[in-house]
Amino acid sequence: MKIKDLKKYYSEKTLEDYRVDYLYHNITEVINQVIRVKIIKEFFGKYLKPSNNKVLDLGCGNGNDIINLNKTYSKKITNFVGVDLGKKTIESLNSMNIKNCKFIVGDIENLNLGEKFDIVLSSEVAEHLANFEGHLDTIKKHLTPGGYLILSTPNEKYLMKDIYKLLRYVFKPKSIEKVKEKHVDEEDEEHINVMPYNVLKEKLEAKDFEIIDKKRTMIMFGADYAEPYYGIIAFIDNILPKKIMYLGNGVVIAARIKK
């Protein structure tokens, strides 16, 4: 069941709501987030200028990405702006008086702040948007010449998901039906636009972006039944190539506008 009005849902979300959501994450979900943040930090380290960077986070949510990146790169980032629909969340974040950071209520599918940024971050946002193309237009509008987009989003088509589907089709045992309920067909009511990597790439290229860097996240996601085997899964995940997007349940890319 999908949420009918996502914009209304997010406009009413508070910081406490985000904290409660986090409590329901299992180990693979938590580790996947850790991996995603690590890759984003790595890409920021590669593509930030030596100093005086302006960064825009579209769909900043609870502000965690901004707060973490601001701590890591405080000497390089002089201006960090976060935009989200959640009025109460934005008020709470601004009340923290985080150095070099300000937070604005806005629609990230149709926004014009009247200024340019060296990096625009779109982290776990695309899958929530009915108008992803409008979001890309917003990003282009706010990038400096030669600036970078860093984007992360779930991957609709990946190896483990296809394996589970095949097992369910061939064997159809009760154990595989549990996989169906908990992993493969789990319908995230907030996700309305989850794309395979190749579709994401096509949509970016249609808006004149070229992907210059990419890494996958973890090979699994949201699988409660796999927690006892997490050590084995993590070992396998660690030795598999990181730039084959089909292996990851999520992707992180760095892109810029074609010259």
pLDDT of residue 39: 96
In this structure, is residue 92 part of a structural domain?
Answer: yes
Residue with tokens 């860097």: 213
- Does residue 182 belong to any structural domain of this protein? no
pLDDT of residue 182: 47
Asked whether residue 161 is domain-assigned, the answer is no
d(CA 79, CA 91): 18
Neighbours of 17 (CB within 10 A): 16
Q: Domain range holding 129?
A: 6-156+189-257
pTM, two decimals, is: 0.86
Domain for residue 75, yes or no?
Answer: yes
Residue 33 lies in a domain: yes
The answer to the question of residue 216 being in a domain is: yes
Predicted confidence at residue 255, as pLDDT, reads 98
Q: Is the dihedral of CA 175, 177, 181, 187 positive or negative?
A: positive
- pLDDT per residue, tens digit, the chain (259 aa), is 355 577 777 787 777 776 656 555 656 677 778 889 999 999 999 999 999 999 999 999 999 999 999 999 999 999 999 999 999 999 999 999 999 999 999 999 999 999 999 999 999 999 999 999 999 999 999 999 999 999 999 999 988 888 777 766 666 555 544 544 444 444 467 788 999 999 999 999 999 999 999 999 988 765 555 556 667 777 888 898 999 999 999 999 999 999 7
Angle at 43 between CA 41 and CA 45, to 5 degrees: 70
Strands lying side by side in the sheet with 143-154: 101-105, 77-84, 53-58, 117-123, 143-154, 250-257, 209-216
Which pLDDT belongs to residue 139?
98
**C-alpha closest to that of 79 among 95, 100, 65:** 100
**What was the pLDDT predicted at 163?**
79
Domain-embedded: residue 1: no
What is the structure's pLDDT at 7?
A: 77
Residue 211 lies in a domain: yes
How many domains is the chain built from? Answer: 1
- The CATH number linked to 17 is 3.40.50.150
What pLDDT is stored for residue 228 in this prediction? 63
Distance CA 133, CA 139 (A): 10
Please report the pLDDT score of residue 186 as a whole number: 45
